[in-house]
Chain A
């Protein structure tokens, strides 16, 4: 468990997660488009975009996790 390969592992996790979330968003977009929105295209794009956004947020949190400071607000 070399620490210098930790960055590589984080990137691998990030890419895998992006693929999964894009696929899930795309699939759910298709489901919603067929069921509720009369087979329009925009729910598919919306779902894919939401999936990419969730993946970006996860990646960001993963990369920043050593540097995030947890503090308590003392009144």
Chain B
């Protein structure tokens, strides 16, 4: 009877573990709307440095202080897009000017 009971018990334990994992994910708002997900990410980012600090002091490792990233990828991307678009918008006018100048230069050379 124990031989028949054991697989059932194993299945129930596995099912409860998997169900608990899914429930924790649902409860933390990981499976909800976009705003919930963004909030969960912010919470995780705020909770990460103290947690790492606690872990390293518990294990006894000496981690060097994390370098401060002063670089903002979204700002750089936006600046890049603006630069490209403004360059594209003045490109025809500049091309005309350079052509006229080049033509004048060649004419002066030929004279």
Contacts and interface: CB of A to CB of B under 8 A. Distances in A.
A20 B37 contact: yes
A10 to B, nearest CB: 8
B33 interface: yes
Contacts, number: 53
B25 A16 contact: no
Nearest to B41: A16
A54 B21 contact: no
B18 A13 contact: no
Nearest to B38: A16
Contact of B30 (A21, A32, A36, A59): A21
A13 B34 contact: yes
A19 B40 CA distance: 10
Contacts of A59: 34
B22 interface: yes
Interface in B54-111: 74
A12 B41 CA distance: 11
B34 A14 contact: yes
